[in-house]
Each structure stands twice: as C-alpha cells, then as structure tokens.
C-alpha cells in the first residue's frame, strides 16, 4: 500500500476524453458525468464500476461548492491531499462508507468529465489513468493502474 500516493496524480487518455465528450453530446438538453469507482468483488478481488450522472444529479454535483475538484494530470491540491490522507491508513477498510460530500469532480480543460470518490481516487493516485478502448470485440472504459498485480481478461476485475 505504500505506493498508493507515490506519484500523486491521476490521468486521462485522449480516447477517454473524446468518448466522454461524445456521450455528453448525445444527451441533448442535459449534461453528463462519467462516474467510476472501485468496488469489492469481481473474479480478482476488486472491480471497476462505471455509470453516468445526468439531470438533477449532475446539476447537484457541479453546483455544490463543497465538492473538491481535480484537473486530470495535475498534482493533487493540499486540500485534496488532506482528504485523501484520512483514508490512507492501510488498516482501514478501503471501501468504508464515505462521508457526505466525499465526491471529487474531475475536469479536463474547462470540461467537467467525471466524478469519483476520495476512496477510489486515493487508490488511483499512483499514475493511473482513465482510458477508453475499442476493438473488434468490445468497447469500454477502463483504468490503467500500475499497482494492479493481476487483472481479469475482461479488464474490469483486478487484485492490488
């Protein structure tokens, strides 16, 4: 667990940015955020979960002044570091119930792209990046995580 905050940033690939912007463009009249989180479960111990936030949920997130913001690829702010430190004790449950306003809004340039929680972000604060892959067999969002020891063929389930 020592490597969790080693590099202190989380990135996004161009393909993930383009896919989120495409999804945002298909929601005429309302905006969209990609929500991602790490959940306990899957065939390899943990799994990535991807959903979207639209409508009132989107409005409540982006208008909440208490929600921390993080620009993809930047070094974490002091406030975000302090919040992450609260969850950095390896003896704590990685997926303990987060307090209210525990979300972090992830932005790229001037676009609100994604939302996650402190617990997930602290596990990915190691130079991980959000990616979107598309090939002949499937298209999906995924996380490139250098601390992932074993991952499933599906690309969603992994072991730390």
Q: Are the beta carbons of 67 and 105 closer than 8 angstroms?
A: yes
Tell me the domains of the chain and their CATH numbers: 2-159 (2.60.300.12)
Tell me the average pLDDT across 73-90: 71
Mean pLDDT of 58-62: 90
| Residue 43 pLDDT exceeds 80 | no
Which of 101, 64, 70 lies closest to 86 in space, CA to CA? 101
Residues 6+ apart with CB under 8 A from 91: none
**Confidence class of residue 35 from pLDDT cuts 50, 70 and 90?**
very high
Three-state DSSP string of the chain: CHHHHCCCCCEECHHHHHHHHHHHHHCCCCCEEEEEEEEECCCCCEEEEEEEEEHHHHHHHHCCCCCEEEECCCCCCHHHHHHHHCCCCCCCCCCCCCCCCCEEEEEECCEEEEEEEHHHHHHCCCCCEEEEEECCCCEEEEEECCCCCEECCCCCEEEC
pLDDT value for 108:
85
Q: How many C-alpha atoms does 68 have within 13 Å on its Cβ side?
A: 20
Whether the pLDDT of residue 47 is over 50: the answer is yes
Half-sphere exposure of 49 (CA within 13 A, CB side): 11
Q: What is the pTM of this model?
A: 0.79
């Amino acid at each position: 667990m020592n490597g969790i905050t080693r590099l202190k940033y989380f990135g996004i690939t161009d393909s993930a940015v383009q896919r989120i912007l495409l999804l945002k463009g298909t929601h005429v009249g309302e905006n969209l955020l990609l929500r991602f989180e790490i959940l306990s479960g899957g065939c390899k111990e943990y799994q990535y979960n991807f959903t979207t936030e639209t409508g009132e949920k989107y409005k409540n997130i982006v208008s909440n002044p208490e929600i921390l913001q993080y620009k993809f690829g930047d070094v974490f702010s002091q406030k975000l570091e302090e919040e992450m430190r609260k969850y950095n004790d390896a003896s704590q449950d990685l997926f303990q119930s987060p307090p209210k306003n525990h979300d972090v809004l992830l932005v790229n340039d001037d676009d609100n792209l994604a939302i996650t929680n402190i617990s997930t972000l602290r596990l990915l604060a190691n130079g991980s990046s959000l990616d979107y892959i598309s090939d002949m067999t499937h298209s999906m969002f995924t996380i490139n995580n250098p601390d992932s020891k074993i991952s499933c063929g599906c690309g969603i389930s992994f072991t730390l």
